[in-house]
Structure 1
Amino acid sequence: MGLRFPWFGLTLIFAAVFPLILTMILFLGPLYLHYMDGVFRLYLEPRYWSNSIRNYVWVRNHIVAPFSEELIFRATMLPFLVPAFGVGWSIFLCPLFFGVAHFHHMIERVIRGQAEVADALKQTVFQICYTTVFGAYSAFLFTRTGKQEWKCRW
């Protein structure tokens, strides 16, 4: 994150710990949403984890989807946005696409009868907010690696 603490040679530890803490704070959004929905207690049951790993939908939602989102929104989209808009604007533009891509959850909640339109909209706006913040954080970390070329290759 650009923070340097040369005390006692602990620079590597601080470089690893601060991003980890920030990432954990950002994941409080989905955990809070699950707590408000009443599903958080399921995470404490061992049977939930043993059944989930065998469920293809769960594997898609919790393993495949995050991997593909990172591939699409960071590794593919960001290198195209940076030459056109610059690093600063791209860090904030790319996550907007990332956040809006989760809008389909509102439609699913309403169609399945899980929530009224107003409640589904509130939940979806909250989800878009924290996915956009997480997307900006991920885009920032991606651009800070310095291992990519920001030239458009068309």
Structure 2
Amino acid sequence: MAPMGGFYSPSSTLLISTAFTTAYVSSIYLFPASRVSSVSSRLVAPSTPSSTSSTHAPIPPTAIPRDRNSPSVIRARLLAVTIVSCLACLSIRSLLQRYPPSLIHPPASTLLGLDLPTSATKLFNLLTYPLGLTASLFLGSLYVAFLDGSLLPGQRGFRWRKMKDQFTSLQGIRNYIVGPWTEELVFRSAIISISALGGWYKKQLVFLTPLYFGIAHVHHAYEVYIGHGRTKQALVNGVLGSAFQFAYTTLFGWYAAFLFVRTGSILPSILVHTFCNWWGLPPIVDALRVYPEKKIPILASYVLGIATFSYGLFRWTEPRLFGGSWYWN
């Protein structure tokens, strides 16, 4: 895809993308109920040891401590990010109304990756090929889960009820439903759209736009600092944790952006986001400790998974499988 150009300057593109990122992050602190707070256990002692009057009773903590997993925090944040993601997509539509649809730029729904496939086959491909590609990268994790007996129905550790509870709990709704949907709509659909309108090439869309996604997770350092008592150690832990989170969210962002640009749809990015949140980081160290007798099969499964992923990265994301991609053509 050649850069479009002529729509938005580099500075305008940067400003709008930064505004999307800032709006998403700041929205989760918008409501008082959405903000984390540290434990406050200080009590004010009575004025005299012998006093039992209610006028001298200990003053209770000034606030109930909350972390990001507190129900009130989750509910408030889910509402906030849902509103922001909808507004981000609507803003792209509004910006495009200044220019009539043409061969130079498609309708907003196409830019945002919201067009539905034109056939059942293309929809099937859209749901299975990217997810299968992602699963191949997690082959080692899948094998370890099989050894644990928790991968397949009928194994000793597999419980449908447990899986259902994980998805339907507040944390599950955040991690596997609302989180992936809203983050992909903002950091893939909206930001890649405006970057394309600014004339960015494919490589720039894939490798540069995810930096906004990584930066958007830096605020977790503040949450760790607040939640762990505002100590020096809490600050160190927060900074180190956020640095690591920035690295792997940016890495994932490269992959999600690649899928978006290759398929022309936001659905694969959302699906693999949910999949990756479900499986987390590969437990290779713990697996080798728990199953030392399976060292070779475990290592082999990880190597085979990486090889399969590398083999299928372009083959299983071929745009023609999904009806073509405006971004890749």
Conservation of the 8 A alpha-carbon contact between 2:191 and 2:209: yes
Structure 1 stretch 114-123 or stretch 62-71: which is displaced more?
114-123
Q: Which residue of 189, 198, 202 maps to 1:87?
A: 202
Does residue 126 of the first structure (1) align with residue 126 of the second (2)?
no
For residues 225 and 162 of structure 2, the distance between their equivalents in structure 1, rounded to whole angstroms, comes to 26
CA displacement at 1:45 relative to structure 2: 9.6
- Give CA-to-partner distance per residue, 1:42-76, whole Å, 9 cap, x none: xx896875654453244223321111111111122
1:82 maps to amino acid: A
C-alpha spacing 1:20/1:57, structure 2 compared with 1 (3 Å): closer
Q: Distance in 2 between matches of 1:98 and 1:105?
A: 13
Map residues 2-151 of structure 1 onto 2, 5 A cutoff: 17-22=132-137, 24=138, 52-83=166-197, 84-113=199-228, 116-146=234-264, 147-149=324-326
CA shift, 1:130, in A, is 0.5
Q: Which amino acid aligns with 2:258?
A: F
Question: What's the offset of the Cα at 1:19?
Answer: 4.0
Q: Is the 8 A contact 2:221 2:239 kept in 1?
A: yes
TM-score, normalisation: structure 1: 0.62
Tell me, what secondary structure is at the counterpart of 1:71? Answer: helix
- Residues 68-118 of structure 1: CA distance to partner in whole angstroms, max 9, x if unpaired? 111111122112212422111121111100011111211111101176111
Specify the code of the residue in structure 2 equivalent to 1:79: S
Structure 1 residues 48 and 102: alpha-carbon distance in aligned structure 2, compared to 1, 3 A threshold: farther
Pick which of 113-122 and 136-145 moved more. Answer: 113-122
After superposition, the C-alpha distances for 1:128-154 in whole angstroms (9 at most, x for unaligned) are: 10000000111111111254545xxxx
Identical amino acids, percent of aligned pairs = 33
Distance 1:19 1:57 in 2: 23
2-structure distance, mates of 1:149, 1:121: 39
Question: Which consecutive unaligned segments of at least 5 residues does structure 2 have?
Answer: 1-124, 142-156, 265-323
Quick one: which amino acid aligns to residue 189 of structure 2?
A: A
Contact 2:214 2:247 in 1 (8 A): yes
Amino acid across the alignment from 2:212: F
Gaps of 5+ in 1: 1-11, 28-43
What is the CA–CA distance in structure 2 between the aligned matches of 1:50 and 1:142, rounded to whole Å?
28
User: Larger % of helix: which?
Assistant: 1
CA pair 19-112 structure 1, distance change in 2 beyond 3 A: closer
Q: Deviations over 1:13-34 (max 9, x none)?
A: xx66444323x38x9xxxxxxx
CA RMSD in angstroms comes to: 3.1
- Aligned residue pairs, count: 119
Return closer, same or farther for 1:53/1:121 CA change in 2, 3 Å cut-off.
same
With normalisation by structure 2, the TM-score equals 0.31
SS at match of 2:201: helix
